[in-house]
A and B are shown apart, each in its own frame.
Chain A
């Protein structure tokens, strides 16, 4: 189980203190996929960055199976993270080389067969020997997600995995991640604005505003509370946009 225990974080922005994450606590069971939703600047990315050890919290802690985030080496072995905006691949390398390189960077030696499995899963066969800087944005994102998944960690954090992608690629990625999450019993924590993504994949939704969790529950529960048919309508109604 992944436990986020009373995590808080403040930043100093132009001399003013800004609360990014405010006493956030959540428990996520093995096999659960959690989507974090909220307006821009709500603290979604900071929450993921804290849970993945990229930003230090001011207070609170994160545990996976009783391993504390403070026990950095052991904790980080259990997690992988996909940062926003293709910050997770080496653009000078090909998709095949990237998967091999990023696994090797963690001391994991992947054989070609293991890597080919992910190449096939993300339909990257035609581009596997092409440098990533010459791939389309959608294919670069597929490579980044494939690299993240091929580490085969227990917990996967993803920050806006479908941001800026066209509907077709976005749909393909949702399908792949859904199948992967169902068959591998991993914990997925994903920040997103994509309502289709949330409807398809989320077992639990966290709505964050000004660093606080305002709602925690299933997508269905949220729709019932807001008395709407889709998550998009429910969210907009909640935000009083409609």
Chain B
């Protein structure tokens, strides 16, 4: 455990060093996201002429929550693939593969260390969005944590599957922009009440956050159990699939090919 904490703190420290070194890129990324929110807000408000105030209020709430969920998922998924790509480019993938802790666990630790940075981005963007839309959402922090954990683990599971595939299929990283469409699709699929779509990754986790925080459903015990079982299943599946891809790449000797 002590070793895992050392690796986590090490990753966190270097995430901040890189963030500071390339802070202009990060700030431009944030401002792009901020501009998108401005456009979305204008779009929704222009529809406001044709709908009742309650509907407009709900749409704004859902937009803010949707944005939060989208950042978490998109950054999370991109994170693992981009970490592998970045490790290849920066020169440390080989060192990660021969790490005694195992590369999959190193990427899991990297994911959580990077999530701290993602959370800082969210902490800047969401309040700004609330100010622009004049729609203040009061978050119940306990509910948020309960719902965020399964979302993170499910995202991590899918990220590990895609990350493992990147080790074998080198061109996959160039298709990451398509993933944003996939994420948006998974976010809007009607997955509550529980139906066959709910078993797809991310669907039910993102839908639960959206519906609970826009007060459309309450957080029931059954829902929490389903969310944790669902996300744990995807997390374990992610670890297994990643290991299979890594073993395949090691057997074929293609890990060092770029």
Contacts and interface: CB of A to CB of B under 8 A. Distances in A.
A76 B99 contact: yes
Interface residues of B, number: 35
B90 A90 contact: yes
B183 interface: no
Contacts, number: 98
Interface string A31-62: 00000000000000010010011111000000
A57 to B, nearest CB: 9
A87 B256 contact: yes
Contacts of A15: none
Nearest to B246: A56
Interface string A49-90: 100111110000000000000001110110101010011111
Given A46-B253, A56-B251, A87-B91, A104 B97 contact: no
A93 B86 CA distance: 13
A177 interface: no
Given A55-B250, A83-B256, A88-B92, A105 B98 contact: no
Contact of A106 (B91, B94, B99, B252): B99
A145 to B, nearest CB: 13
Contacts of A163: none
Interface residues of A, number: 38
Contacts of A73: 100-102
9 contacts: A52-B98, A54-B94, A76-B98, A76-B99, A81-B98, A83-B94, A90-B92, A91-B89, A97-B17
Interface of A: 9, 11-12, 20, 46, 49, 52-56, 72-74, 76-77, 79, 81, 83, 86-93, 97, 100-102, 104-109, 131
